[in-house]
Amino acid sequence: MPTAHRVVIVAFPGVELLDVTGPAEVFSVASRVAGTGHPGYRVEIATADGGTIDTSSGVRLLADLRLDEVTGRVDTLLVSGAVTHPDGGGAEAVIDPVVTEWLRSAAPRAGRTGSVCAGAHILAAAGLLDGLTATTHWLTTAQLAAAHPDVTVDPDPIFIRAGRLWTCAGVTSGMDMALAMVADDHGHALALATARMMVMYVKRSGGQSQFSVPLSVREPSGDRIDELRQWITEHPGENLSAEALAERVNLSPRHFARLFARRTGTTPAAYVESARVESARRLLEETDASLPQVAADSGLGSVKTLHRRFQRRLGTTPAEYRRRFR
């Protein structure tokens, strides 16, 4: 019997339940779809003391082993994440110190290491993401960028592979990342069969955007950058050059660019492009507007630019997107 691919998912108190169970279910279903005679996956949950932990939803998880019992070959090591909401509206990633310290020695021994959602903050705290490009939940990308300047934080994709290090966005994107790992291990046919078995509507590629840009903007709070971001999403057809936006908030272009990047984890140009693609998405989903009209109303200008942005960010064409999501 072939040796099963060993997956160890690290959890800690307060972890998001789906960060653990989502990828675990993907690997489990892939094993069942592959059938007997194929290596499949063996999933284990590891915690600091090997006992029961409470997740953010209140559901309890029982670990299979302690962190110090994770010995021998680990093919895939995943670190789940957790967030708190200290002011009732924001979000702050939880960085478990025990897991962070353990990762420094455990991750180099694993075949590949990944994080789910805010677990990227723990990878970064352990020094594993220095010099790499990574992503995390859109609510905490600015925190990750500010705390770890040696990490290139891309707030847009649902997952990023940087060699043997993988990071992904919000909780359900951990399932997309796990499907990509299945494809990497056993080919796209098994990954697609697994997605069909799980009734996952679309097997999303890592380059697909974290939906949706307006969701990343809080209610107006008197903060100039937050208010500007809200205005951008509501006026995609306006002149949204960095110079025009800087003038709108009465800042020099250079100071505005630095402040915007520090507050949002991305550049003004990248944010504007995301907002315009998001606007085009909504028009394609909700209206019968022609592609030239969608391009004009979303601020993308031309059908050629609309196509190029959709291919790059979503991995599909505007027409195919409309057929799929309407």
User: The tokens 């006026």 sit on which residue?
Assistant: 235
Residues 136 and 222 in one domain: no
C-alpha–C-alpha distance, residues 151 and 129, integer Å: 6
CATH of the domain at 250: 1.10.10.60
Both structure tokens of 171: 């909780």
C-alpha–C-alpha distance, residues 234 and 175, integer Å: 31
Residues 27 and 111 in one domain: yes
142: helix, strand or coil: helix
Q: Is residue 206 part of a domain?
A: no
203: helix, strand or coil: coil
Q: How many CB atoms lie within 10 A of CB 161?
A: 18
Tell me the per-residue pLDDT of 240-274, one tens digit each, with 9 for 90 and over. Answer: 999 999 999 999 999 999 999 888 778 999 899 98
Tell me the per-residue pLDDT of 115-128, one tens digit each, with 9 for 90 and over. Answer: 999 999 999 999 99
- Low-confidence winner among 7-21, 33-47, 144-158, 189-203 (lowest mean pLDDT): 189-203
Residues 141 and 115 in one domain: yes
pLDDT confidence of 209, banded at 50, 70, 90?
low
Residue 4 and residue 159 in contact, taking contact as beta carbons nearer than 8 Å: no
Q: What is residue 89's predicted lDDT score, i.e. its pLDDT?
A: 63
Both structure tokens of 293: 């009209």
**Average pLDDT over the chain, rounded to an integer:** 89
**Of 89, 145, 158, 159, which Cα lies nearest the Cα of 260?**
145
119 phi/psi in degrees, rounded to 5 = -60, -20
C-alpha–C-alpha distance, residues 83 and 119, integer Å: 9
- DSSP notation for 174-192: HHHHHHHHHHHHH-HHHHH
User: The tokens 């093919």 sit on which residue?
Assistant: 75
Residues 193 and 227 in one domain: no
Distant-in-sequence, close-in-space partners of 182: CB < 8 Å, separation ≥ 6: 26, 27, 30, 190, 191, 194
Both structure tokens of 248: 């709108």
Residues 66 and 178 in one domain: yes
Q: What is residue 12's predicted lDDT score, i.e. its pLDDT?
A: 97
Q: Which H or E run includes 8?
A: strand 5-10
Q: What is residue 285's predicted lDDT score, i.e. its pLDDT?
A: 81
Integer CA distances (angstroms), 30 to 38, 182, 194, in order: 10, 7, 5
Find the mean pLDDT for residues 12-34.
Answer: 96
| Helical segments of 117-223, H only | 119-125, 141-147, 173-186, 188-197
Number of domains in the chain: 2
Domain boundary residue, one of 148, 167, 197: 197
What is the domain range of residue 136?
Answer: 5-197
Residues 183 and 218 in one domain: no
Residues 237 and 193 in one domain: no
